[in-house]
Amino acid sequence: MTSPFVIEPATMDHARRIRLRPADAREIAALGYTQEEGLQLSLHRALWADAYLLEGEVAAILGFSLTSLLGGGGQPWFVTGLPIERAKKSFVRECRRRLVELRARYGRLANFVHADYAESLELLRRLGFTIGRPQPFGRLGQPFCLVEMEVS
Residue 143 maps to a domain: no
Q: What is the pLDDT of residue 37?
A: 97
Residue 20 maps to a domain: yes
Average pLDDT, the chain: 94
Contacts of range 88-96, beta carbons closer than 8 Å, 24 or more positions apart: 90/1, 90/3, 90/4, 90/5, 91/5, 91/52, 91/59, 91/60, 92/123, 92/126, 92/127, 93/1, 93/3, 94/3, 94/5, 94/7, 94/52, 94/62, 95/62, 95/123, 95/127, 96/127
Residue 118 maps to a domain: no
Q: What is the pLDDT of residue 68?
A: 67
Split into its structural domains, the chain has a count of 1
Q: What is the pLDDT of residue 110?
A: 94
Burial 25-37 (b: 16+ CB within 10 A, else e): bebbebbebebee
Lowest mean pLDDT among 10-14, 94-98, 102-106: 102-106
Residue 114 maps to a domain: no
Q: Per-residue pLDDT tens for 63-78?
A: 999 986 666 689 999 9
Nearest to 42 by CA among 70, 73, 75, 9: 75
Residue 58 maps to a domain: yes
Cα separation, 30 vs 16, in Å, equals 19
Cα separation, 66 vs 57, in Å, equals 28
pLDDT at residue 34 above 90? Answer: yes
Q: Per-residue pLDDT tens for 103-151?
A: 888 878 999 999 999 999 999 999 999 999 999 999 999 999 999 998 7
Q: Residue 84 is part of a domain; what is its CATH number?
A: 3.40.630.30
Residue 77 maps to a domain: yes
Residue 152 maps to a domain: no
Residue 70 maps to a domain: yes
State the pTM of this model: 0.93
Q: What is the pLDDT of residue 73?
A: 84
Average pLDDT over residues 11-16: 98
Domain coverage including residue 100? 6-107
Average pLDDT over residues 49-61: 97
